[in-house]
């Protein structure tokens, strides 16, 4: 591993999830948890977030067991963040039943001194106000990737603009990008976002793959033929964690490596959705990651046209 | 060009279309028209379909000008097939206002003797009963690709099964494939369709690209960052026409060439949606096709992982 550190800021949560393949209550979840675990396959990862006194010790042990640094994890008086929702057969669409912010109502992220400088930062979906508070604490980050959601796009639009100006890559799904830029055409919406100051925008399209737009190139990552698809919760965050963990490991932000990082993100997401919670990542082996990366290459490759055939 | 001939069977129509970019009345359309024009860029193409006495001579001249053989085009007493519909900002979804079958109520396709044997056949979306009538006329076709739609899946399911058993590749969008196989998971639905006898299934996903499933390999074709997107009508048929025209030109049904054919189909569809009706294909040049194919390669390429980074 390189010396580079990944800092992940987001939620630590207990999820109650129903999909066509089962229902699970109060399982480990939260954006920072998914992203940290995915990142931990590649780099030293610091999780910044908060849990309540009711947060099960076994979950803390699991995170520690993955080598994730919890210096920035606060245990606060009160209840842990909770989300409950369900997916129908179109698992691209999450239906939220209930969100209990609980201790996240008063959460104020504090970045450990050890990683304030020169880190790779992933700002998971949070109030843009908190995202800005984190950015204020960082010194010369090597890379900042930020997620957001429709709620902040409509309720804190101006603050979100401030975030966009200060990050390298925005991570959004296609509907969010369209909504934010008030532009139905995705490539045009991406161009607008780049004009605001972000270096790049990564568009998550769930089962349809992912897109990366920068000012100098476009990359379209293929969809994975997801035969085993049990629970999409955390797919976007495990994508982000894989991407940033890989970039920190390789310390290379060149075009070729950014493309590979998008595939690594896709690989981690594709494993994550194979089971509930972090169950699949828990048993995932590095050689499986390498193998699936090669699968992505194999099923998206095609040769150049043979010019002899033309004319 | 090779000596191989492409036969396209489908509708010849007059479309009235509204998209966020304008409205056009009674413009040239129909599945066989879009597919034949796309195919004509690559191979000798025979259009089999019917028009009424009201069909404008200028449209016939356009098709002839593209070198499309009209031996199998019937001019019947009565009105030409008409479709009218609109698209909102999510242009993946067509909203049909009216379909007037007119002469297609009594249309019976008749394949010209010259192309009954050894041709490449595209059966555009039609009543499976008509598709079977065409198959009965063909002798040792080199390749058969068939399209269908939700209407036939629900109303003529058993006849559609017969079609599937007799074709090489089924062409469907993801929603149709899920509906037909009563399976929400696309790769699983594709596997079921292959088990019914088709050699392959090509899944059209509009702006999200296309998938090819066969028993021996999977190919995921990237989406194109479609900056100019005016009218999606005919995208699927120009995809199919490009694919089969290219396969007939190259006379190579090996895995590598099938992958390229899916990209050629994507290229033709991506041009087609840049304007209404056949306006873009009308002025399209071969070098633009080659250039866009290379663009598809460039924005979907990524390198292997550097193993030195691992461990």
| Packing angle of the helix pair A255-272, A286-300 (nearest 10 deg) | 110
Chain A nearest-CA distance from B213, in A, is 9
- Residues of B within 8 A of A204 (CB-CB) are none
Tokens representing A131 are 């995202």
Chain A nearest-CA distance from B8, in A, is 22
- Residues of B within 8 A of A209 (CB-CB) are 208-209, 220, 222-223
Facing A310 at nearest CB: one of B89, B259, B290: B290
In a domain, B177, yes or no: yes
Task: In whole angstroms, give the CA distance from residue A271 to residue A289.
Answer: 9
Distance from chain centroid for Cα A210 = 12
Give the model's pLDDT for residue A89. 78
**Positions of chain A with pLDDT lower than 70, given as ranges:** 1, 308-311
Reduced to 3 states, what is the DSSP secondary structure of residue B309?
Answer: helix
Is residue B253 predicted with pLDDT exceeding 70? Answer: yes
- Residues of B within 8 A of A311 (CB-CB) are 286
Tokens representing B309 are 């980074």
For residues B2-26, give the mean pLDDT: 95
Give the model's pLDDT for residue A1. 60
Q: What is the mean pLDDT of chain B?
A: 95
Q: What is the DSSP letter of B117?
A: B
Task: In whole angstroms, give the CA distance from residue B43 to residue B41.
Answer: 6
User: Which residues are registered as beta bridge partners of B46?
Assistant: B7, B69
What are the pLDDT digits (tens) for B139-190?
A: 999 999 999 999 999 999 999 999 999 999 999 999 999 999 999 899 999 9
> How many C-beta neighbours within 10 Å does residue A135 have?
19
Chain B nearest-CA distance from A307, in A, is 9
Facing A293 at nearest CB: one of B229, B297, B305: B305
Give the model's pLDDT for residue A90. 76
What are the pLDDT digits (tens) for B106-137?
A: 999 999 999 999 999 999 999 999 999 999 99
- Asked if B47 contacts B33 with a C-beta cutoff of 8 angstroms, the reply is yes
Task: In whole angstroms, give the CA distance from residue B107 to residue A269.
Answer: 50
Give the model's pLDDT for residue A308. 62
- Is residue B304 very low, low, confident or very high in pLDDT (cuts 50, 70, 90)? very high
In a domain, B243, yes or no: yes
Which residue has tokens 């050629």?
B264
Nearest to A229 by CA among A187, A271, A166, A173: A271
In a domain, B13, yes or no: yes
- Residues of A within 8 A of B286 (CB-CB) are 310-311
CATH classification of the domain holding A298: 3.40.1190.20
In a domain, B310, yes or no: no
The percent of residues above 90 in pLDDT, for chain A, comes to 93
What are the pLDDT digits (tens) for A223-268?
A: 999 999 999 999 999 999 999 999 999 999 999 999 999 999 999 9
Is residue B74 predicted with pLDDT exceeding 90? Answer: yes
Please report the ipTM that was assigned to this predicted complex. 0.92
- The domain tally of chain B equals 1
**Does the pTM of the predicted model rise above 0.80?**
yes
Facing B260 at nearest CB: one of A185, A208, A302: A302
Task: In whole angstroms, give the CA distance from residue A258 to residue A274.
Answer: 25
Backbone torsions φ then ψ of B292, nearest 5 degrees: -70, -35
In a domain, B265, yes or no: yes
- Residues of A within 8 A of B250 (CB-CB) are 306, 309
Burial label for A217, CB within 10 Å (0-12, 13-18, 19+), is middle
Check B220 against A217: CB less than 8 A apart.
Answer: no
The whole domain housing B74 covers 5-301
> CA distances (Å), B174 to each of A233, B156, B182, B191, B201, in order?
22, 19, 12, 13, 11
Residue A263: enclosing H or E segment and its boundaries? helix A255-272
The percent of residues above 90 in pLDDT, for chain B, comes to 93
Chain A nearest-CA distance from B48, in A, is 26
Give the model's pLDDT for residue B1. 60
Check A188 against B219: CB less than 8 A apart.
Answer: no
Residue A241: enclosing H or E segment and its boundaries? helix A235-250
Is residue B247 predicted with pLDDT exceeding 90? Answer: yes
Is residue B309 predicted with pLDDT exceeding 80? Answer: no
In a domain, B309, yes or no: no
Tokens representing A170 are 């925005």
Q: Which segments within chain A are labelled E, that is strand?
A: 5-9, 13-19, 22-29, 44-52, 73-76, 81-87, 94-100, 120-123, 143-147, 169-173, 200-204, 210-214, 218-221
């Amino acid at each position: 591993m390189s010396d580079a550190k990944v800092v992940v800021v987001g939620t630590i949560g207990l999820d109650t999830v129903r999909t066509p393949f089962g229902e699970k209550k109060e399982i480990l979840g939260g954006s920072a948890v998914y992203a940290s675990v995915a990142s931990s396959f590649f780099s030293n990862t610091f999780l910044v977030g908060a849990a309540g006194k009711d947060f099960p010790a076994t979950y803390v042990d699991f995170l520690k067991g993955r080598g994730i640094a919890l210096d920035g994890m606060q245990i606060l008086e009160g209840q842990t963040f909770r989300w409950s929702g369900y997916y129908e057969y179109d698992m691209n669409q999450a239906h939220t039943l209930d969100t209990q912010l609980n201790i996240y109502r008063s959460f104020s992220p504090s970045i450990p001194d050890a990683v304030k400088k020169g880190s790779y930062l992933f700002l998971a979906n949070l109030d843009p106000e908190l995202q800005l508070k984190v950015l204020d604490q960082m010194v010369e980050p090597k890379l900042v990737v930020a997620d957001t959601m429709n709620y902040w796009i409509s309720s804190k639009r101006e603050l979100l603009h401030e975030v966009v100006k200060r990050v390298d890559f925005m991570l959004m799904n296609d509907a969010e990008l369209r909504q934010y830029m008030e532009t139905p055409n995705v490539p045009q919406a991406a161009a607008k976002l780049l004009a605001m100051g972000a270096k790049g925008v990564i568009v998550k399209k769930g089962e349809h793959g992912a897109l990366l737009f920068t000012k100098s190139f476009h990359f379209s990552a293929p969809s994975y033929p997801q035969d085993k698809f049990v629970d999409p919760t955390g797919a976007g965050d495990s994508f982000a964690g894989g991407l940033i963990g890989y970039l920190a490991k390789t310390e290379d932000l060149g075009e070729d490596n950014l493309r590979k990082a998008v595939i690594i993100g896709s690989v981690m997401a594709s494993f994550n959705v194979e089971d509930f919670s972090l169950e699949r990542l828990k048993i995932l082996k590095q050689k499986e990651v390498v193998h699936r990366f090669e699968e992505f290459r194999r099923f998206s490759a095609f040769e150049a046209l043979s010019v002899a055939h033309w004319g």
